[in-house]
Amino acid sequence: METSPAPAAGRPADTSGTVVEPGDGLPGTRRRRRGRRGAVIRVLQVVLAVAVLGGWELLTSLRVIDPFFFPRPSDIAVRIWEWISTGYILDDLAVTLEEALLAFVIGSVLGLVVGFLLARVSLLAGVLDPYLKMFNALPRVVLAPIFLLWFGLGIWSKVAFGVTLVFFIVFFNTFQGVRDVDRVLVDNVRMLGASEYHLVRHVLLPSALTWIFSSLHISAGFAITGAVVGEYLGAAKGVGYVIAQSEGVFDTTGVFAGMIILMLVVLVIDLLVNRLEALLLRWQDPAKTA
């Protein structure tokens, strides 16, 4: 996020014209102190990681912990490196990501459209409300087997499963965001000549976007969860399938390696979502949202 816009050109606007410079909130000394604190925290975080992984490594070498159930971190690291350097895992990772992406896109679009419709057409909301609540109350995992039967072992059973997870998050947030929109903003653009389409495009959608973004991290994670759980229950490809295979031959190192790869992938996705969020919500006052 860019922090300091160009200094104001031209004449000062008015006597109360104190312009808020974003990112300029902290006086120098406080910022420096916060910077030092940050460094201390970083160091402590590394110390913690070294202690836990080192202790784990040591205790498994000494056979205090059974490496059959808790494989040595160094073995896991070697396995991850093997899988990546030989390209063994890449095909499966691509499949998992493809499923997750499809589930995410389809679930989000459906959630957006249905959320908008229900927020704008109160009759529809009234009629559908109990059914949506019932469906949302269903523990979603039980759908995986039936989707396997309906859509087969390929990617679509996993996509369908992911969609049921993503849809509700996006739907509820869109619904809330559209319902929650500031009345004055709506009146203002209507007085400026807005049609229903203008209203959606200039007010309702951007207003809902802030809500949708607050759920994006969760729904992206759910899309991956949907894909992996689906693969785990029945597939011929994917990281979930690899984990299930490793489990089948009591290869705990493989199970852990799969877990860690997934974890890293989700972290990267989270980072990308952060970037996107900072770009699309750059109009928000950082002081208010921090």
Partner 1 sequence: MTDDSTAPAVQLKGCTRRFDTPSGGEYVAVRDVDLTIAPGRFVSIVGPTGCGKSTLLNMAAGLLEPSSGEVFGFGEPLRGLNRRASYMFQQDALLPWKTVRDNVALGLKMRGVASAEANERALHWLRRVGLEGFANRYPYQLSGGMRKRTTVAQTWIVDPDVLLMDEPFSALDIQTRQLMENELLQLWQGSNKAVLFVTHDLDEAIALSDEVVLLGVGPGSRVVGRYEVDLDRPRDLMDIRSRPEFVRIYEEIWSQLKEEVMKTYAKDSPALAK
Give contact residues for partner 1 (rule: CB under 8 A): 5, 8-11, 13-22, 184-185, 187-195, 198, 202-203, 206, 209, 282-285, 288
Task: Pick between residue 136 and residue 284 the one whose CB is nearest to partner 1.
Answer: 284
CB 219, min distance to partner 1, A: 21
Task: Pick between residue 110 and residue 200 the one whose CB is nearest to partner 1.
Answer: 200
Task: Pick between residue 8 and residue 264 the one whose CB is nearest to partner 1.
Answer: 8
Alpha helix ranges (H) inside the chain: 28-61, 73-85, 90-120, 122-137, 143-151, 155-179, 183-191, 196-199, 205-233, 239-248, 252-280, 286-289
In sequence order, which residues have a C-beta less than 8 Å from that of residue 175 and are 6 or more positions away?
115, 118, 119, 125
By CB neighbour count within 10 A (0-12 exposed, 13-18 middle, 19+ buried), where does 123 fall? exposed
CB 173, min distance to partner 1, A: 17
CB 276, min distance to partner 1, A: 15
Q: What is residue 140's DSSP assignment?
A: G
CB 24, min distance to partner 1, A: 11
CB 13, min distance to partner 1, A: 5
Contact of 260 with 219, CB cutoff 8 Å: no
Task: Pick between residue 137 and residue 191 the one whose CB is nearest to partner 1.
Answer: 191
Q: What is the dihedral of CA 219, 223, 228, 234, to 10 degrees?
A: 130
With tokens 């950082």, the residue in question is: 286
Q: How far is CA 84 from CA 113, 208, 258, 261, 278, in A?
A: 39, 40, 11, 10, 31
Task: Pick between residue 18 and residue 86 the one whose CB is nearest to partner 1.
Answer: 18
CB 8, min distance to partner 1, A: 5
Task: Pick between residue 47 and residue 276 the one whose CB is nearest to partner 1.
Answer: 276
CB 105, min distance to partner 1, A: 23
Q: How far is CA 103 from CA 35, 78, 83, 111, 230, in A?
A: 40, 32, 26, 12, 12
Q: Please state, in angstroms and rounded to a whole number, the distance separating the CA atoms of residues 147 and 185.
A: 43
Task: Pick between residue 8 and residue 271 the one whose CB is nearest to partner 1.
Answer: 8
Contact of 229 with 162, CB cutoff 8 Å: no
